[in-house]
Structure 1
Amino acid sequence: MKRVITIIVVIVIALGAIAYVLSNNKKKNEEKTAFIAKGSGAVAVRVASVEKKAVDLDFSANGNFIPKQELNLLNENAGRISAIYVKEGDRVSRGQSLARIDAEIINTDRQTAEATYQNALRDEARYQSSYQTGGVTQQQLDQAKLATRSAKLRLQASQKTLSNAVIKSPINGIVNKKYIEIGAFVNAQGTQLFEIVDVSRLKLKVNVNESQVANLKIGDKIDIKSSVFPTDKFSGQITFIAPKADGTLNFPIEIEVANNAKNALKAGMYGTAVFNFPQQAPSILIPRTSFVGSVSSNEVFVLDKASNTSKLRKVVAGRILGENVEILEGLNEGETVITSGQINLTEGSPVSIVK
């Protein structure tokens, strides 16, 4: 019995809470629409003057610096590490030796390939001489030539393998990580040896919206700021603009940034791209909320001051600039557009301006 009473009490409390929330929401909705329909059938609206304003296209976007070049250097040959010439943090140049693999077995293979090639050359010379006197057929001579070419290719491959016993850096950069030690055995399946990064030039990845990306192009010069080095100035150049928006309807772009002489900027730091544009001529701007439905409708209600009624007007919208929209055709300075209450308006509806 007590359990039944408890359940009933819980249900009553829940219903009371729901009723309170609904009542509260109703009051809020009434407050939001309080400006609608005040006496004499007039629709309460808010308005804004149509005037020319300076167009400011400047904006900034934040992102992270990443290396322009980074490389995980893998091994190509199996063997034991016999020497390491660099340590983490060392700056290396392209072609510089980083480590060496014990080349005893590799060198033996090269010597065997060399001996095989020399023997094939001698055999080919003998077959060539015998062919001229009729001692061997053309087919036997061709087989000897083929054996020589095969032996030469094996020799070239073994020479390349021997040269790869000395591991060299393929790029300029800094040794960020060293994964090997002297005496360690590495196999030929791509053992990771070093991580090398080049921070002399970095990339700053940022996202911009559709109205911003429309004013950008590859090659644009961009000012770069770093909160870690507020007094230092950096410059960049747009190298990539995504042709397709991401899931948030933003467009990823990449800006290549030249580091300073001290390579102060590090990969992973935050950066701010400052996009500055030439001063624009003033344009007619109206609030984005002036449009009936959406900007794409190209329709707004204009206030007829003489009769205090609404007039539907076709316009041509231009750029969307934040909360404002540029108007190319359809409105003149000095007119007044209705910015709220349009849902209750038709052509010629009487209106009451809410201030």
Structure 2
Amino acid sequence: MKNIYSIFIITLLLTSCGGGQKNSTENVLESNSLETIRKKRGELVNEQEALNEQIKMLDEKIKTLDTTKHVPLITTFTAKTEKFEHVLELQGNVTTKNLLTITPEYNGILTHVYVKEGQKVRKGQVLAKIDDGGLSQQIAQLKIQSDLAKTTYERQKRLWDQNIGSEIQFLQAKSTYESQQEAVNQLQQQIAKTTVKAPFSGTIDDVITEQGSVVAAGQTPLMRIVNLDDMYIEVEVPESYVSNVVKGKKVQVELPVLGKTIDTEIRQVSDFINPANRTFTAEIEVPNKDKDIKPNLTARLKINDYTSENAILIPQSVISENAEGEQYVYVVSNKNAEDVGTAKRVIIETGKTQGDIIEVTNNLEPGAEIIKEGARSVKDGQSVEVIKYKEAGNE
């Protein structure tokens, strides 16, 4: 209404002096006289200043006479305390420590493979045999020599116990027997390496090398064995969570491929922070009673790293920031019966976020009426009117 009055007054003033001024201005322009043109311009500037002063006076009067209140319409919500469980979302892969590709400890020909793919085996069970290259014959000869050395030693010992013979003969017999025994033990250890045994109980997942192939110690993969009982997820956690992500923390594991969600916990946290990416490793136990969880499955993790029983949570969209980097919200105070109150700016401190929700840690009390819609357009100390959608819908 104020703007309409102002335009109306300006129009009247311009209309009252428009005709003569137009002709006068045209005449001055046609004169091509610099002095005359400058003089005319000065007159117009003076007239404009006078008009502005009159408009200002009219606006002030309108302001005192107009009883209609023009205040912005806003919506609010009430701050209240509630339980807040913040979760850290990460991604990892399922693995197991009982997953091993078996390689031989001896060079030679793989003469026998005693198992097949999918077969369950026990710890210590013989899986394959490698040709020993004649070691069996050598050990037979060494055992004969060892038996002879043992007999000689025992006889020499009996004589020595009766103070018969020289000490040097006794010691030589003892040394010969012990060296023969050591030679037999070493050869037996070599022969034992030709037998491939299961390092733990599990299932033969893949037989890689066929019977009759030449294998090299520590290089040729023979077969892969896996045990699905002790499954876990290994995940890298940013170092900023080192004090919150600890052993025993609850974890929700989602396996998208299986459409399965498991509630478990952290069973181990490493004490080493990787300097390359500033992370540490956490292990999450994964129960696998149905044996449907396989190694290398992708898993999504939600780790409960922070819990507050009495947190004040607000939408991030209602928070603004000033030039000093301080965060603030607007609350409504001194609200009357007509739901008209005053917008008050409150500087707040915030904590953790979850989605579009953030925790307020300081300067906001439960029960405060916080401006939601319209928060970006109000100013500190401005009058505002709170609208309620239910009341608006009933009208």
**Aligned mate of 1:240, from 241, 254, 268:** 268
Query: Is the Cα contact below 8 Å between 1:211 and 1:320 reproduced in 2?
Result: no
Partner of 2:144: 115
Amino acid at match of 2:103: L
TM-score, length-normalised on structure 2?
Answer: 0.58
Is 2:215 aligned against 1:186?
A: yes
Q: For each residue in 1:284-306, what CA deviation from the matched residue of structure 2 results, as whole angstroms up to 9, or x when unmatched? A: 45788768899xx9x76788989
- Change over 3 Å in CA distance of 1:251–1:93 after alignment to 2: same
Partner of 1:166: 195
Alignment of 1:77-156 (within 5 A): 77-103=106-132, 105-131=134-160, 132-138=162-168, 140-156=169-185
- Change over 3 Å in CA distance of 1:182–1:300 after alignment to 2: closer
Query: Is the Cα contact below 8 Å between 1:87 and 1:175 reproduced in 2?
Result: yes
Query: Is the Cα contact below 8 Å between 1:68 and 1:256 reproduced in 2?
Result: no
**Aligned mate of 2:293, from 260, 265, 272:** 265
Query: Is the Cα contact below 8 Å between 1:50 and 1:286 reproduced in 2?
Result: no
Equivalents in 2 of 1:168, 1:59: separation in Å?
A: 43
Is 2:98 aligned against 1:69?
A: yes
Equivalents in 2 of 1:252, 1:52: separation in Å?
A: 37
Give the superposition deviation at 1:326.
4.5
Q: For each residue in 1:123-166, what CA deviation from the matched residue of structure 2 results, as whole angstroms up to 9, or x when unmatched? A: 2124324534442235x423332322222222223233334433
Q: For each residue in 1:248-304, what CA deviation from the matched residue of structure 2 results, as whole angstroms up to 9, or x when unmatched? A: 55554221212233x22222222223446897423245788768899xx9x767889
Equivalents in 2 of 1:351, 1:105: separation in Å?
A: 99
Partner of 2:338: none
Equivalents in 2 of 1:292, 1:146: separation in Å?
A: 91
Give the superposition deviation at 1:221.
4.7
Equivalents in 2 of 1:142, 1:320: separation in Å?
A: 81
Which deviates more, 64-73 or 304-313?
304-313
Partner of 1:200: 229
Partner of 1:216: 245
Equivalents in 2 of 1:137, 1:256: separation in Å?
A: 65
Query: Is the Cα contact below 8 Å between 1:302 and 1:335 reproduced in 2?
Result: no
Query: Is the Cα contact below 8 Å between 1:130 and 1:136 reproduced in 2?
Result: no
Amino acid at match of 2:229: S
Q: Which has the larger radius of gyration?
A: 2
Query: Is the Cα contact below 8 Å between 2:347 and 2:363 reproduced in 1?
Result: no
Report which structure shows greater RCO (CA 8 Å, sep ≥6): 1
Amino acid at match of 2:107: A
Equivalents in 2 of 1:143, 1:292: separation in Å?
A: 95
Partner of 1:56: 85
Amino acid at match of 2:311: S
The percentage of counterpart residues that share the same residue type is: 24
Equivalents in 1 of 2:201, 2:174: separation in Å?
A: 44
- Change over 3 Å in CA distance of 1:300–1:278 after alignment to 2: closer
Structure 2 segments unaligned to the other structure (5+ residues): 1-75, 335-341, 372-379, 384-395
Structure 1 segments unaligned to the other structure (5+ residues): 1-47, 338-349
Query: Is the Cα contact below 8 Å between 1:173 and 1:198 reproduced in 2?
Result: yes
Give the superposition deviation at 1:168.
1.1
Q: CA RMSD in A?
A: 4.6
Equivalents in 2 of 1:155, 1:292: separation in Å?
A: 85
